Chain A
Amino acid sequence: MEIVSKFKNQHSPIVDMKQENSQHPQIKLVFFGILLFSFLFTPLHAQEADPVKGKALFNANCAACHQLDKKMTGPALRYVETRLSEDEGLDREWLYGWIRNSAAVIKSGDTYANKIYNEYNGAAMTAFPQLSDEDLDNILAYTAQDKPAPVVAATSGAAQVNSEGGSGLSKDIILGALAILFALLALGLFLVNKTLRRFAAANGVEVQEAIKRPSLWKAYVKNQFLLLVTAIFFLLSSAYFVYGYFMQIGIDQGYQPIQPIHYSHKIHAGDNGIDCKYCHSSARVSKHSGIPSLNVCMNCHKSIYEVAPSTATEEYSKEFYDAEIQKLYDAVGWDDEAQQYTGKTKPVKWVRIHNLPDFAYFNHSQHVSVAGLECQTCHGPVEEMEIMYQHSPLTMGWCINCHRETNVKVEDNGYYEKIHEALSKKYGVDKLTAAQMGGLECGKCHY
């Protein structure tokens, strides 16, 4: 596509997209590092190296592009050292050299280095000159570990199911037993009563009937005053409920639709502490907070193709979450096996939760950037929401109340300097609410 130069500011330097196209985002690749190791691998080294430290180093430095068992931006690294020494005859020294400066190795004309460089589309691996031999040994030790058998997880899951089933069963039994017991008691009482009556009849004892009084109901019906009071009570209370019913029409507080992809704000914003504005970046500058485009998701999910086992909950299993990530890949057209985009995209049709009417103007940047509000003020505890829902009523009264109560953030904002000084003198206050700044005027939101 021909991209036209953006005319955001007439005096700003222009950007010619055409030319910039040549600067492809440089993908820095780490992968080949891995291969190097095999050579130096000796039992002595292995004994000294610490796979636990290695794991930490791996996660900090390598995990963005490498996984142990899966080809990503770079190749899978389990048993890399063995593999290299057996297949390619390369030793650990080669690996040291590669990891610390892969470009130099490639430049030196090394056959395997060039082969792997080309295999991964010429993506250069980041150089790690800061890693010592010991660090590298630790990492290699980590990669040399056997894959843990997945059996454990499966059994524990099954056990869980069993125990759950068991407890359900016992509850039913207890309830059933209690019911039988009560039934027996009631039967007993009835039989005893019957027997007593028979005794009484046999002994000629007359059972006294209770004195007949006018029933409570009839008395009530005859009391006109009470009737009137009740009628008024019912009328008022039904009016109250009818009013309540009608007033909630169009207010979708708590609206929690099922989305095409089960995206968990809890995992992203809560567990992983990702800033809201990392994904909803346009909230800073635009009236829309913006639903992040899928390329934003892929910033992380290019390397996060599955959730950690610990992410799974009772309600949602790991398989469930992994399938949802797969949905993202389908939508964005990412072939996880080949680690490349297929170009076949299927845009995601999210169900919009927060719907303001068209005649109400709301600007996120005013609230987020200028007022410095937390997103949670209006959107609620998003970081705890497994499924997103509408937290606030989004009614005009709700907006207005906040404008009445909230002070304008005037500090360090050149725009407010003069206005704030004059207005605070006028109202005799130090802090100004949005309402005092004119935030209740109709035309501020309706045009």
Chain B
Amino acid sequence: MSSNKKYWKRVEDLNPSPNAAVQAVKHKEFVEEIPVDEFLGDKSTLESSSTTRRDFLKYVGFSTAAASLAACEGPVIKSIPYVVQPEQIIPGVANYYATAIANGYDFASLLIKTREGRPIKVESNSLAKANGSINARVQASVLDLYDNQRLTGPQKRGENISWETFYSEIGQGLKDVQNQGKTIVLLTQTFASPSTEKLISEFKSKYSNVEHVVYDAISESAAADAYEMKYGRRGLAHYDFSKAKTIVSIGADFLGDWQGGGFDAAYAKGRVPKNGTMSRHIQFESNMTLSGANADKRVPLKPSQQKLALVRLYGKLTGTSVGVTLPPAIEAVVDSAAKELLKAGADGVVLTGIQDVNAQGLVIAINEFLNSKSYHPQTTILTRQGNSQAVSKLVNDMNKGKVGAIFMVGVNPVYTLPNQAAFVDGLKKTSLSVSFSMKADETAEVSQYAAAVPHYLESWGDIEVKSGHYGLMQPTIRPLFDTQQFQDVLLKLSGNTLTYHDYIKSNWNSSILDGTSWNEALHDGVYISSSSKKLNNNTFNLDIALSALSKIKSSDFELTLYPKTGMGDGQQANNPWLQEFPDPLTRTTWDNYVTVSEFDAKSLGLENTNDATGGLNGSYANLSVNGTTVKAPVMIQPGQARGTLGLSFGYGRTKGLKSEMQTGVNAFPLYNEFNPTPSVRIEAAGGMHEFACVQLHNTLMGRGDIIKETTLEIFNTKDTEVWNPTPVVSLNHQETPVSSPDVDLWDEFDRSIGHHFNLSIDLNSCTGCGACVIACHAENNVPVVGKEEIRRSRDMHWLRIDRYYSSDDTFEGDNQTKDNISGLGSSLSTFGEMEMPSENPQVAFQPVMCQHCNHAPCETVCPVAASSHGRQGQNHMAYNRCVGTRYCANNCPYKVRRFNWFLYNGNDEFDYHMNNDLGRMVINPDVTVRSRGVMEKCSMCIQMTQKTILDAKRDGRPVNVNEFKTACSAACDSGSIVFGDINNEKDEVTKLKDDQRAYHLLEHVGTKPNVVYQVKVRNTNEA
């Protein structure tokens, strides 16, 4: 039915006006002329062209058709075999080499998986019982090898030179310096390497005026000084927390990087309740750290008060009267800690991270008094030998012109020194400066020579992590670039014709290996020597220490500078895996920040807000220490002690790394006189900073069934149903256990034949360290998406470690608050309050990956059956089948599925390791690199389980007990993540699955996951 009805927009339309302008506008979509000529070019040329629009379309049509026809032809793929295939390389089969990392910050013996000669993954060396820990940074270190920002050869003032030139010029330079009578300084990292030490002493004897200064960017100098005074050897005492029943830590983040780290595995052993007992851990600290988060009792305390608390603890333990006063509440806690320690006796241990010789000496005295079984001073940790005073003296000497030549090895003082300007001035007065570096970093840039050194995976070396525990470092790939090791350079300069490899070999054969063959040691990667050095036992003047500590004055704000789990001292800042690694506590990536307590934030006018998309923003603040000011964004941190601030090292690098990686602010300028706890002034600075945080909701809101936890007392005395109840659902208005088949929508599938994989995660021994996260990245080619995408919640981590704070003082309190809610009004207000963490909350970590549900909600909604279930319990994801509807992600109760919004591989918009040929060498060839528009998720490392099965089939044997592994379970030093086959009754996971602590995440949903969690037990038993 036609109609003459006319629609009009303006009055002129209804009553046609003679106005020409109105008429003109009426017939034009755009008021202004579209500047076609501007983008098409000259109008007259266009008009005179013989190509009409129709012709143009014909050509377009033809060329499109031609192109698509041509595209049907497959590409020709070339295959180039070796000319002479190395005997030990079989394409497609991984080789493993035992080696070690020793970069001055992380020391560990490890196993490197190589494929076709490319190192692709770091694994732990099961023979190395006590050689450091493989943390997230070590896991990620393999990617540093393939960093395309590395120096490709020696440089002089930024110009490439040859090694011959380098040697002749350096040799001449050293001679000149010797003639001038100035000193030659080796400013090096801690090597903890017997052969390097010997080499340096030989170099010293060749050039008489050599001074060796050991410099740790993040100093443990005070502890090393105290140990040296007491025992006569520079180093640190070893602790073994597996034997401890009561652990009192005052400002020591021993689950982090305290004294070189590596204590978490032993600690975790003592945390799993066995025969009704587990260790009790009391932590006094200012920042919220991993150790505090895992503690049974955490006391937020200013650094200055920590010293007083230590004095009081000493006084209470030994019955000495010490005249210190603390707030009454703190005094009570310290007194009760002392009581617990006295009760534990030799099973107790005290440690401190206070950078003060007196405090460190006091702790030695306390542990000796307790006769602590966990304190092993006879085993010296050698990985932190830096001497702050020597470094300060060096800077003075350089400025006085006393230093003629300086070799800087494994250190980046221009970035890490607080007085970097003075150091740079000093360098200018030094006639010969050489930086041995992998990158054109801050120091290499201002040095005359930058000597390109190889990555540790291309080098020879040896380490002695603890006295008597040796490790060997061997190359796992030919050097990628024209690099030479510092040790080889030193050998040449000393006139020694040996290579460093031969040097180590002869040194080991003559003085370390006691009859054991070199080959065996190299194969194992570790060697434990039975001979031990006798240590002195000097007396430490405690009276002076006590009185010095008692005089400590507090200030309004005290800053605690700390190393972040992912970034350490910042030498791996160009590693995209570590940049995107969410901090275990703040869950923030690509940044560092000032942590402030909520109380102080309010009074200072600092805030954290979330924008409309959820992105976290934080105000900026200015921090001033001793005249140096740094502007940094603020993160409000639950658990931060009032009057304290925290700021992490390792960020704010500007040289030798991609622009994407130049994140955060540099905290080293505030590290005045190597004091990590300076007093500080803070004031709000204008503007807001955008964070990329992967967890925007911080509390559990009283949902105690997500992280089930109980106390040791209840665990020991009550029925399992009390503290680990089976969830019930309503069936015909009857409460029915969710495990009953009556309430199940689905038929059960018989999985009793073959393998059935389960993964168990013990929430008691998980310290939240995050090594599994990086291991998962490396094994499964998980892409890095960058800060912007993370902020949009498009992170790709297959495995995340959720961190929850309690909004009450305890999670139990949260549960009760929730249960007490009645009525709408109460629930609205109370739930609102429960979103806020308490000031000193309990913390819980929960690693969450795909739960591989036997009744998986994701599988039923996939329209193309891209997600399906295997008989072995794994939820399969066929990427090539996925069309990207994302229904599965929406239907997943655990939110573990990740969508590829972009092509992250070979895309200039994501200029990380997958965007260059060098970086792509780290990719695991057994796992597909996913493309844009497909869903991905944890596969329970099906490539690893399949390989284990195939190995067994080829050998014609059943799969061994505990042979199945995933990347995360293999990376878990603390033994929290255990993987295995529950159809093999001898596998550890079979017992864990039926353990009374076992529960499933969101069990009431009825998804029947193949991942089990173990209830977290807290030891709240006060003495």
Interface residues of A (CB under 8 A from B): 1-8, 10, 13-17, 19, 249-250, 252, 257, 282, 285-288, 290-296, 331-333, 345, 347-352, 355, 357-361, 363, 365-366, 369-370, 412-419, 422-423, 426, 437-438, 441-444, 446-447
Contacts and interface: CB of A to CB of B under 8 A. Distances in A.
Dominant secondary structure at the B interface = loop
B782 to A, nearest CB: 13
B954 A355 contact: no
Given A7-B525, A295-B82, 12 more contacts: A3-B86, A3-B88, A4-B522, A14-B520, A257-B76, A295-B83, A332-B83, A358-B928, A366-B950, A370-B950, A442-B868, A446-B928
B99 to A, nearest CB: 8
A293 B874 contact: no
Contact of A438 (B478, B872, B926): B872
A293 B928 contact: no
A365 B950 contact: yes
A310 to B, nearest CB: 30
B376 interface: no
A415 B97 contact: no
B946 interface: yes
Given A443-B870, A447-B928, A7 B111 contact: yes
Contact of B80 (A332, A350, A413): A350
Is the interface on chain B under 10, 10 to 19, 20 to 34, or 35 or more residues?
A: 35 or more
B310 to A, nearest CB: 44
A8 B876 contact: no
A286 B81 contact: no
Contacts of B120: none
Interface in B948-981: 949-950, 952-959
B60 to A, nearest CB: 23
B258 interface: no
15 contacts: A5-B97, A10-B127, A14-B520, A15-B88, A286-B90, A286-B92, A287-B92, A294-B82, A331-B83, A348-B80, A349-B80, A366-B950, A415-B958, A442-B866, A446-B876
A248 to B, nearest CB: 10
A419 B753 CA distance: 6
A294 B74 contact: no
Interface string B736-760: 0000000000000010111000000
B85 A285 contact: no
B77 interface: yes
A22 to B, nearest CB: 14
B84 interface: yes
A249 B73 CA distance: 8
Contacts of B929: 358
A287 to B, nearest CB: 4
A198 B928 CA distance: 86
A355 B86 CA distance: 25
A252 B83 contact: no
Contacts of B518: 16
A447 B927 contact: yes
B81 A290 contact: yes
Given A355-B77, A415-B952, A7 B96 contact: yes
Contacts of B926: 287, 361, 447
B939 interface: yes
A249 B928 contact: no
Nearest to B113: A7
A295 B927 CA distance: 30
A14 B96 CA distance: 12
B155 to A, nearest CB: 25
Nearest to B931: A359
B501 A357 contact: no
Given A414-B958, A442-B868, A293 B83 contact: yes
A285 B956 contact: no
B524 interface: yes
B946 A444 contact: yes
Contact of B956 (A295, A365, A413): A413
Contacts of A348: 80-81
Contacts of A419: 753-754
Interface in B86-101: 86, 88, 90-93, 95-98
Contacts of A290: 81, 90-92
Contacts of A3: 86, 88
A388 B643 CA distance: 78
B72 interface: yes
Interface in B789-810: none
Given A4-B475, A16-B519, A347-B81, A441 B753 contact: no
A138 to B, nearest CB: 39
B879 A446 contact: yes
B880 A10 contact: no
Contacts of B460: 2
Nearest to A298: B84
Interface string B746-790: 000010111000000000000000000000000000000000000
B523 interface: yes
B684 interface: no
A443 B876 contact: yes
Nearest to B947: A363
A7 B524 CA distance: 8
Interface string B923-941: 0001111000000000100
Interface in B508-525: 518-520, 522-525
B88 A415 contact: no
A292 B950 contact: no
A3 B501 CA distance: 11
Contacts of A296: 85
A291 B77 CA distance: 14
A415 B953 CA distance: 5
Interface in B596-616: none
A352 B91 contact: no
B45 interface: no
Contacts of A287: 92, 926
B689 interface: no
B877 interface: yes
Nearest to A19: B519
Contact of B954 (A370, A417, A441): A370
B160 to A, nearest CB: 25
A4 B523 CA distance: 9
A355 to B, nearest CB: 6
Contacts of A288: 91-92
A15 B87 CA distance: 11
B586 to A, nearest CB: 33
B309 to A, nearest CB: 46
B97 A6 contact: yes
Contacts of A416: 953
B79 to A, nearest CB: 4
B92 A438 contact: no
Contact of B928 (A359, A369, A442): A359
B78 interface: yes
Contacts of A351: 76-79
A81 B76 CA distance: 55
Nearest to A413: B956
A370 B752 CA distance: 23
B881 interface: yes
Contact of B523 (A7, A291, A355, A422): A7
A442 B72 contact: no
B519 A14 contact: yes
Given A358-B928, A370-B950, A444-B946, A6 B84 contact: no
Nearest to A333: B83
B57 interface: no
Contact of A370 (B520, B523, B750, B953): B953
B943 interface: yes
Contacts of B927: 447
Contacts of A13: 523
Given A363-B950, A415-B952, A295 B78 contact: no
Contact of A7 (B80, B98, B957): B98
A119 to B, nearest CB: 26
B74 A350 contact: no
Contacts of A358: 928-929
